[in-house]
Amino acid sequence: MKTQTVWGGRFTEPLSSIALNFSSSIDLDKQLYAEDIAGSIAHVEMLAACKILTASEARRIRTALKAIQKEIESGTFVPDEKFEDIHSAIEYRLTQKIGTLGGKLHTARSRNDQIALDVRLFMRTAIKEISKLIVNLQRVLLYKAERYFDVVMPGYTHTQRAQPIQLSHHLLAYVWMLERDYERFQECYKRVNKSPLGAAAFAGTPFPIDRMMVAKKLGFNGIVENSIDAVSDRDYIIECVSACSILMMHLSRFAEELVLWTTKEFSFAEISDAYTTGSSIMPQKKNPDMAELVRGKTGRVYGALMELLTMMKALPLSYNRDMQEDKHALFEALNTTRKCLFIFSHIIVHTTIKTKVLQEAIQNDFLTATDMADYLVRKGIPFREAHEITGKVVQYCIEHKMYFGNLDLETLKLFSPKFDKDIFEAIIPKASILNKQSAGSTNPQEVKKQIVYWTRELRKRTL
């Protein structure tokens, strides 16, 4: 196998096939062929506009590049392991098609700023796709929040039942989390959307190029101003993968709740057969594998983030070959995040809430204990004393195998003379929810405000 490189003049022997195999990035960066060609076309058009190439030369190069893209997409030209990277593969094919003129394409450019450009172009598309998937998941959750608006469920702290809340309130909590994820990607996009092309290797170029012209042709909002910075940092990649990691953390939390809710022990929900699997040995099993896989794949994205941070740690300026390893982590994080967002929306759509089970759960527990304490506070008892009295009532019920609904006023007065018949209205789960007055609470009016807000906000975002 003959090695195809874009360097070698000062070398007395060819690159070892072993070294090529170890150092080649073609297996990963070949998926950047469209970005690489788009960047090359913009670059060659700028070279012509700046009189560095003739209009005829630029036209021939541009035509050949477009033809190469069609060849790659049709499979008639395959960038394979004999090339170091996608850049050398395309340049090799270009010179095959138009001869030595193909070598002029690389004027005033280095692979250092070329790959930084390709990655930024790729990331722009990926960030837009992820943003759309986030919005879609928000819409699915909003739909479920509206559908189950009147459903009350146990709220949890420390994985222990705590207070009654609206299921809609719980679902909307994830909508807000996802909104911050959405905002992080929008902010990241602003920093990604700067063109590094024209930085060359790292010091710039003596040719009178127009960096801003290339940036505008490719839809960038300006250039990376410092040529060293343009090729020697990967913080925009790290930021993007960090945003992916936080998003995946949110998905993993919801995935874990789905796993719990669909157990026999909880039985709060059921996922459609189409999004669950069975056991190879136990015929009765119905496993929430899709949710479990989302939970598990979160680790892959976390790993990508640590890979990038470790790769960049203590690297001196400017470019170092270590940075070639950024694509593995970036592609892993982006692809995993996209897949998980896509499947998660489908999981939620095909999940049914068992409202009767939730109704039983809020009745057969002490979820309104805080409301009992608050009742005593309104009767003039300090909260700490009210807390202790209520705790004793709970202990009494536990010892007598009963719940608040089984108590009578005579028994309650044994704990405090402040109890009156209106206590029984105060400790109904639905009343607990209605009594919440603070902004953003689980009160139906507050939850409705959030639903109205998100209906309006998400309608503005076109997918």
Q: Which residues, 6 or more positions from 244, have their beta carbon under 8 angstroms from its beta carbon? A: 130, 301, 304, 305, 333, 334, 336, 337
Catalytically annotated residue among 74, 158, 280, 438: 158
33, 69 Cβ separation under 8 angstroms: yes
How would you class 190 by CB atoms within 10 Å of its CB: exposed for 0-12, middle for 13-18, buried for 19 or more? exposed
114, 84 Cβ separation under 8 angstroms: no
Q: Classify each residue of 255-282 as buried b or exposed e, where b means 16 or more C-beta atoms within 10 Å of its C-beta.
A: bebbbbbbeeebebbbbeeebbeeeeee
Q: Residue 346 catalytic?
A: no
Phi/psi for 288 (5° steps) reads -80, 55
Q: Residue 279 catalytic?
A: yes
Q: Specify the long-range contacts of residues 387-395, CB closer than 8 Å, at least 24 apart.
A: 389/415, 389/416, 393/369, 394/366, 394/369
Catalytically annotated residue among 17, 23, 279, 400: 279
Q: Give the side-chain half-sphere CA count within 13 A for 394.
A: 17
Both tokens assigned to 374 = 């608050």
How would you class 390 by CB atoms within 10 Å of its CB: exposed for 0-12, middle for 13-18, buried for 19 or more? buried
Strands 160-166 and 351-353: unpaired
143, 132 Cβ separation under 8 angstroms: no
Q: Which of 355, 346, 440, 361 is nearest to 141 (CA)?
A: 346
Name the amino acid, one letter, at 159.
T
Q: Which of 173, 172, 155 is nearest to 164 (CA)?
A: 155
Both tokens assigned to 215 = 């940036």
Catalytically active residues, by annotation: 158, 279
